[in-house]
Amino acid sequence: MKFLNMFKKRQEQPQDETPVVTSITYSIDNTGEMFVDINIDDFDDESIDGLAQLISVISTVKCQLITIEMIKQAFSEEGKIAEYIGLISKIASNTASYTEELKQQDSSEEPCIKPSDMF
């Protein structure tokens, strides 16, 4: 897996588009090599929050961990260790919130036919 262009500057966007502060793009070339392109507008709270939200919703743990490791390397190279620690804290908080939401959804959904109704 390769890491591409972590800190691309935001390109000018047309007036009618909502500005994007962070993005993660996964690609595979014709040889099967996987690429991850992570763009972050700045190291401000809005950008870090957005990146944390994106990482928190990655569904596979392996993909999430690989992405976090790449971000760790890039933040370290930029000397942004405090921002990285804040990011990890926000990812953990977001993941806990999402997990709690899923648990509440699961417990509130009852089957149409209860097993006890079958007898």
Domain ranges of the chain: 2-10+18-95
Per-residue confidence (pLDDT) for residue 103, from 0 to 100: 80
Q: Residue 67: which of 19, 99, 8, 24 has the closest Cα?
A: 24
Asked if 36 and 3 count as a contact pair (C-beta separation under 8 A), the reply is: yes
Helix (H, G, I), strand (E, B) or coil at 72: helix
pLDDT band with cut points at 50, 70 and 90 for residue 118: low
Dist. CA 88–CA 72, nearest whole Å: 9
Its pTM stands at 0.69
